[in-house]
Structure 1
């Protein structure tokens, strides 16, 4: 139950971070938003160091750095996907892959589910697809390149979660600090190389910094959840993060929730209830 609650908290924090990051990216180039969010994210993890401890063993550094590379790759591939194809088709692909791969890794590592979990897990995967899908009638058919990018983005997100899970359980927040440092260095270097294309708009400092802080909290809650529960369950609950984004968009910016997303939210509630008793 503790792992499930932590995973739900992580999912909500990811959804809020994505919503705020999206608002920030509407006001200035997305890399300008990241240039504020990344240091804020690092600051939160460094503040957590004295509270939760950190052990920088070789394994921790390797897995943390791998998660950072995967995080940076996920960022790039997500926005490439957004640029080349219909997101109401490709977003569910990305979400499903990001959930399914960690589930497969967890099951291959010997995790077992009770009968309720065997029903709840596929329901949760279906909810991930429904919640992340757009209105989608008459959408253009995505190209093979767009589908490959969507799979790549999902795999990169999954990789970040799996690599964090592989870090030693007694490493504290060290894998998060290493991962954030690596992903920040990569994205800031990209921003430096592209500085002439970033435009003159100033970033939304408070929104961007809050998004970065929430992303760090989401990573921490995922790490704690994965250490206290099954990766196969935790990852699919975390992948429900679009639900938080959808609900915030509805309440704050008055965006409509379409019928499929409502079905997805209901399916997610049923799935979480079943997983809670496993």
Structure 2
């Protein structure tokens, strides 16, 4: 139950971070927003170091760095996917991939689910697709390149979570510090190389900063959830992060929640209830 609650908190934090980051990216090039959010997230994790502890063993350094590279790759692939579109088709593909791959890894590692879990897990995967799908998801057909990019983005997100899960359980927040440090360095390097294409618009500093803080909280909650529960359950609950984005868009921007998304939210509630009994 503790792992489930932590995973739900992680999902909500990821969804809020995506929403705020998306708002910030409307005002300036998305890379300008990430240039603020990623180092902010890194700083938060460094501040937490004295309180939560960190052990920088070789295994921790390796898995943490791998998660950072995967995180940077996820950003690049998502950005390219967004440029090609249509995102109302590709977003569910990315979200489902980000959930399914960790589930497969968890099952291969010998994790077992009870009867409730065997029903709740596929329901949660279905909810991920329904919640992340926008209106008219079947109206546009993505190209093969766009579909491959969406699958790659989902795989990169999944690998980030898997690598964090593989880090030693007694390493504290060290995997997060290393991972976010690596991804921040990669992001800043990319911004330097592409500085001529970023435009002159100023980013929304406040939104980007809060998004970075929430991203750090989401990473921390996922790490604790994965250490106290099964990766199969934690990963799929975390992948419900589009629900938080959808609800915030409704509350703040007045965006309409479509019928499929409402069905997805209800399916998610049933799935979480079943997984709590697993």
Q: Under a length normalisation based on structure 2, what TM-score does the superposition of the two structures give?
A: 0.99
Change (3 A) 1:192 1:87: same
Trace 1:4-15 onto structure 2 (pairs within 5 A).
4-15=4-15
Contact kept in structure 1, 2:88 and 2:137, CA below 8 Å: no
Q: CA deviation at 1:138?
A: 5.5
Q: CA deviation at 1:139?
A: 2.3
State the Cα deviation string for residues 155-179 of structure 1 (Å, max 9, x = none): 0000000000000000000000000
Q: CA deviation at 1:39?
A: 1.6
Per mean C-alpha deviation after superposition, the further-off stretch among 181-190 and 139-148 is: 139-148
Contact kept in structure 1, 2:89 and 2:138, CA below 8 Å: no
Trace 1:137-148 onto structure 2 (pairs within 5 A).
139-148=139-148
State the Cα deviation string for residues 94-121 of structure 1 (Å, max 9, x = none): 0000000000000000000010000000
Q: Which residue of 2 is the match for residue 220 of structure 1?
A: 220
**Which 4+ stretches in 1 moved above 6 angstroms?**
none
Residue 262 of structure 2 is aligned to residue 275 of structure 1:
no
Q: CA deviation at 1:88?
A: 1.0
Q: Which residue of 1 is the match for residue 36 of structure 2?
A: 36
Trace 1:1-278 onto structure 2 (pairs within 5 A).
1-136=1-136, 139-278=139-278
RMSD of the TM alignment (CA)? 0.7
Q: CA deviation at 1:85?
A: 2.3
State the Cα deviation string for residues 34-90 of structure 1 (Å, max 9, x = none): 111112111110111011100000000000000000000000101111111211111
Cα distance in 2 for residues equivalent to 1:136 and 1:164: 35
Contact kept in structure 2, 1:70 and 1:157, CA below 8 Å: yes
Contact kept in structure 2, 1:16 and 1:214, CA below 8 Å: yes
Cα distance in 2 for residues equivalent to 1:49 and 1:277: 34
Q: CA deviation at 1:251?
A: 0.2
Size of the aligned set, in residue pairs, is 278
Partner SS, residue 202 of structure 1? coil
Cα distance in 2 for residues equivalent to 1:32 and 1:72: 14
Contact kept in structure 2, 1:88 and 1:139, CA below 8 Å: no
Contact kept in structure 2, 1:92 and 1:129, CA below 8 Å: yes
Contact kept in structure 2, 1:86 and 1:139, CA below 8 Å: no
Q: CA deviation at 1:137?
A: 5.3
Uncovered stretches (5+) of structure 1, i.e. residues with no partner:
none
Uncovered stretches (5+) of structure 2, i.e. residues with no partner:
none
Contact kept in structure 2, 1:33 and 1:203, CA below 8 Å: yes
Cα distance in 2 for residues equivalent to 1:15 and 1:22: 10
Cα distance in 2 for residues equivalent to 1:259 and 1:44: 38
Q: CA deviation at 1:152?
A: 0.2
State the Cα deviation string for residues 233-260 of structure 1 (Å, max 9, x = none): 0000000000000000000011110000
Cα distance in 1 for residues equivalent to 2:138 and 2:90: 14
